[in-house]
Amino acid sequence: MEFIKPFITSILMGLTLLSYAQNQNTEVNTGIAKSLGIYIFPSNNQSQETLNADEMACYHWAMEQTAYDPINPTKVAAQEVDSSKRKGSTIVGAAGGAATGAAIGAIAGDAGKGAAIGSVVGGLRGRRAKVVGDHVEQQQNIETAKAQEQELKDNFIKAFSACMEGKGYTVK
């Protein structure tokens, strides 16, 4: 029988805390704010229904202000790198390699053979440099697109937060 008393005491304490939380309007917000990673506190004892309605109104207002919808986020496409210029880099590399090869070949006694070897090596080097450069540029374009998407989301959160604060909530 002694073990029942602490059990009943803990149940009563839990019910008391639950009742207190409901009277203090400290229900857990599982709405729009939570999905945005922000916390809303009803500073003026707004009810949960009022909070939900205010969140929805601010959601629509923020969408109008920012042209961004976090439920269907705008995808910013990364600019594609123009890889059609690879032939030009091969030709330029081949010309430079041929000139270098001809100079080395002239020293060795066969400028024509040196130029041919130099043009192949230079062409391959020029093409490889262009491929690597294109890859680096494409990665930069992807990062730029991600940053633009984040900026759109951040602007929406600012607008949503400003609206909720205007309706008497504390927003963090």
Question: Model pTM greater than 0.85?
Answer: no
- Residue 111 in tokens: 């400028």
Query: pLDDT value at position 97?
Result: 56
* Average pLDDT value over all residues in the chain: 75
Residues 54-105: tens digit of each pLDDT: 999 999 999 999 999 998 888 888 888 876 655 555 555 555 655 565 555 5
The domain of 100 spans 83-152
Give the number of domains in the chain. Answer: 1
Q: Is 92 contained in some domain? A: yes
Q: Is 70 contained in some domain? A: no
Query: pLDDT value at position 88?
Result: 52
Count CB neighbours of 161 within 10 A: 19
Q: Is 142 contained in some domain? A: yes
Query: pLDDT value at position 17?
Result: 41
Contact (CB, 8 A) for 38 and 62: no
